[in-house]
Amino acid sequence: MFKGSITALITPFKNGLVDEEALRRFVDWQITEGTHGLVPTGTTGESPTLNFDEHKRVIDITIEAARGRVPVIAGTGSNSTDEAIELSTHAEKAGADAILIVNPYYNKPTQEGLYQHFKAINDRVGIPIVIYNIPGRTNVDMSVSTMARVYELKNVVGVKDATANLARVSQQRAAMGPEFNQLSGEDATALAFTAHGGHGCISVASNIAPRLCAEFQNMLMKGDFAGALKMQDRLMPLFDVMFVETNPGPVKYAASRLGICSAEMRLPLTPVSEQTKKAVDAVLIKVGLLQAAAAE
């Protein structure tokens, strides 16, 4: 079972190319800071603008740099089933512990189409599959009944739930049982998600606050909800500001302020506004990640 604070990794760029050295340093820092798992090449990793070779390379580097210290759940989804299979089989050969498969976006498949998509991928790999249900980006929502059907496939183990509907956690727990691995895809609701029976969070904020996010999840795993609520109060401004513009714009800017990597993204994503930069700086100072003098 995957649990705790699992970082949805940004992909560092430099002069238009993947910054491989920055990525290696970043992975090592994440693990040293206490992160419980890593997800390369997801939405936060700008997978839509990575070409196939880059996508595979980022997965390879993450696995190599992690050196088995924490699980690596590679993002290998696509709105083309054949492409998802190619990326998934590569991730398995590279040594990924699991793959994260997003519901096909733009195509708007039926519930039967969703099932057949996951079945086709399942039949070609031998490692765990985590469903990624994020209707806000894909325009399709996997129903609880379809998810229960998909869970019957031999490799499907759980879901990254980014519906922001907390009732889903209990509904999915009722349909699939407590062993179904439920991971929140929303930092802001991770506390409540765990209270409903979830097991952790695939987090954006942990890119820049890995130690705090790991401590937060450690409290939740120990059942210390009072302590976790205090940490939630501290981290909530950070959770909010990470989404004042389209992800990963704010988190990449924050990473640049902390010296992790450049804020560079690829079109159609553009640099965040000056207003957003000021808002992010203010929160980084408030949370204790950036000194006021360094922000000037």
Catalytic residues, by residue number, are 132, 160
The CA-based angle 150-156-157, given to 5 degrees, is 120
Sign of CA dihedral 252, 163, 209, 230: positive
> Do residues 26 and 87 make contact, with C-beta atoms less than 8 angstroms apart?
no
Q: How far apart are CA 9 and CA 41, in angstroms?
A: 7
What is the SS3 assignment for 196?
A: coil
CA distances from 104 to 120, 124, 169, 180, 200 (A): 13, 17, 21, 21, 24
The edge-to-edge listing of strands for the beta sheet with 129-133 is 37-39, 4-8, 200-203, 181-184, 156-161, 129-133, 98-102, 73-75
The position carrying tokens 């609880």 is 144
Q: How far apart are CA 256 and CA 251, in angstroms?
A: 9
CA distances from 202 to 42, 81, 282, 295 (A): 10, 23, 24, 28
Closest listed residue to residue 5, CA positions, set 138, 200, 265: 200
The position carrying tokens 């993204």 is 265
